[in-house]
Structure 1
Amino acid sequence: MPEKPLAGLKILVTRPRDQAVLLAQRIEQEGGIPLRFPLLEIAPVQDAGTLHEQVSRLAQFNLAVFVSPNAVKYGIAAIRAEGDIPCPPQNIVIEPSDRGRADGRQLPQSAGFAGNVSLPPALRIATVGQGSAKVLHQLGIANVIAPTERFDSEGLLALPEMQNIAGWRVIIFRGDGGREFLGDALKARGAAVEYAVCYQRSKPQWDARALLEAAPDAITVTSSEALVYLWQMLGDAQGDRLCGIPLFVPHKRIAELARQQGWLRVQLTDAGDDGLLSALVAWSSDYR
């Protein structure tokens, strides 16, 4: 039997705990050893009063933007918690016998997307990435506006549907902090923008020695914030010990930051788990 491409290689997975599961499993399937080292923790906002007030007015908005899978998870949870929004619901009721997949086929029972989501019928839904779009489709939400090439705010803003939005009211579901670029660009086009903060990030208290002792062969980082925390945790001296390890990132902006920090072997990948895994497999053939 031929050796699997990642056999014996230790791959650091730095996504938040819940989001790291599938990537870790796929690394194992290719023979690798996933080292789970979450650099961010994700949780619902502690004071959700403002969020629930905004959700109660959802029918007043023309467009809702979910900036990440976490924004979908916690934003939709807030919408469900609000219950009956004062408008006729859109036909996106998900029952066990009707579990839509991103490609229109049925989801297995284990997918766990049972429940009801009631959205105003005129509300447009948008997101910046295919991962978020897939989750929205799995929830039964059709006609999601999402880029198909560049998966970020700039990619979304370039779409034809986002050009003539003067007078629109836009609600952006996101975490605490985050980039202002999307909201500022929409305001510049004449839209009124509100941010709905539906989750918060925190930094786990890691000891850099644990990472050094793990001795990863490759590192994956999927957000700029996580990369900043990683370098802060390491410090310049210990960062210099790791900066020669291949660093796999799915976005040009993260790659630029990594090079500024001093990482020497930055690998820019395609988006999502597929992109990261394909790049890891391609790298492993040269590594050996």
Structure 2
Amino acid sequence: MDKPRLLVTRFAEDAQRLANVLNSNGIFSIAQPLLAVRKSIEFNNVGFMFTNSYDYIIAISVNAVNYTEQALSGSEWPASRYFAVGQTTQAALIKATGQAVTIPETRFSSEGLLDLSCMETLTGKKILILRGVGGRELLAQKLTERGAKVEYYQPYQRFALNLNGELLVQQWQHQCINGAIISSGELLQRLLTLVPENKIDWLKTLTIYVPSTRLAEKARCCGLNNVQVFPGVQDDQVLNYFK
């Protein structure tokens, strides 16, 4: 079996950090951000976090925490019970709020949050979800079904970087890339859009590494049949998978 030579398709800082971790452990990787983030039109609406009282506030990503912190501009975060999807987001939220932050026990995902015992019965609970514009709806749908009133604060949005797909694929082929780490449906779709039609067959030869069966199914539906699911998107989880 060929040793992995990986394309890491996260946001710039995250992609470079993970690539550095992998390279320092002998796993060839190159960081290739496909999307970036910027403030959304909702950014300045942060005041409603104080005019409304929430039982739970859930952060979906580090970007959600960081952009909310920017919007608060030195104001203290409201009193609430805080949750995060994963460990990195948890650390950012603890630093920002100075409060305890609960995360899933095993699966660091929306599904993992929904498995928490405190999320089973939510009648009368008011919940605020911090996320980017256009995020996945599953969490809000399930929380609503369990009796909660759910609102969003979406202080940032993703946008596609202007990249030359033909040139990039040539570079990836020259570097003998044989796998790609893809952590979201948006990144998957961006990669498929970026790769020229005459290079799609090459893309299909790569092993696509994803953190969930849901994303694996989506990749297969797009014609990428060589898909493997790894335990999670934290740097140490990815490293341990490939070591």
- Partner deviation per Cα, 1:49-87 (whole Å, 9 max, x = no partner): 32x2323325x11111101121122123323x162xxxx
2:137 maps to a residue whose letter is: E
- In structure 2, what is the equivalent of residue 62 of structure 1? 55
Equivalences for 1:118-157 in 2 at 5 Å?
118-121=76-79, 123-139=80-96, 141-157=98-114
Equivalences for 1:201-240 in 2 at 5 Å?
201-213=158-170, 214-215=172-173, 216-240=177-201
**Distance in 2 between residues matched to 1:166 and 1:206, nearest whole Å:** 47
Instruction: Please point out which of 29, 33, 47 is paired with 1:53.
Output: 47
1:194 is displaced (CA, Å) by 1.1
**Distance in 2 between residues matched to 1:148 and 1:236, nearest whole Å:** 42
- The answer on 1:19 being equivalent to 2:18 is no
**How many residues are paired up?**
237
**Distance in 2 between residues matched to 1:158 and 1:184, nearest whole Å:** 14
Higher radius of gyration, 1 or 2: 1
Aligned-pair Cα RMSD in Å: 2.2
Contact 2:84–2:93 (CA<8 Å) still a contact in 1? no
1:65 maps to a residue whose letter is: I
**Distance in 2 between residues matched to 1:170 and 1:82, nearest whole Å:** 23
Q: Report the 3-state secondary structure (helix = DSSP H, G, I; strand = E; otherwise coil) of the residue aligned with 1:75.
A: helix
1:245 maps to a residue whose letter is: L
1:235 is displaced (CA, Å) by 4.9
1:46 is displaced (CA, Å) by 4.5
**Distance in 2 between residues matched to 1:199 and 1:225, nearest whole Å:** 15
TM-score when normalising by structure 1:
0.75
- In structure 2, what is the equivalent of residue 71 of structure 1? 64
**Distance in 2 between residues matched to 1:266 and 1:141, nearest whole Å:** 39
1:218 is displaced (CA, Å) by 2.0
- The answer on 1:264 being equivalent to 2:225 is yes
Equivalences for 1:28-43 in 2 at 5 Å?
28-43=23-38
Identical-residue share of aligned pairs (%): 31
Equivalences for 1:241-280 in 2 at 5 Å?
241-271=202-232, 272-280=234-242
Unaligned runs of 5+ in 2: none
1:32 is displaced (CA, Å) by 3.9
Task: Point out the more displaced range, 14-23 or 41-50.
Answer: 41-50
Q: Report the 3-state secondary structure (helix = DSSP H, G, I; strand = E; otherwise coil) of the residue aligned with 1:264.
A: coil
Equivalences for 1:140-179 in 2 at 5 Å?
141-179=98-136
- Partner deviation per Cα, 1:67-117 (whole Å, 9 max, x = no partner): 1121122123323x162xxxxxxxxxxxxxxxxxxxxxxxxxxxxxxxxxx
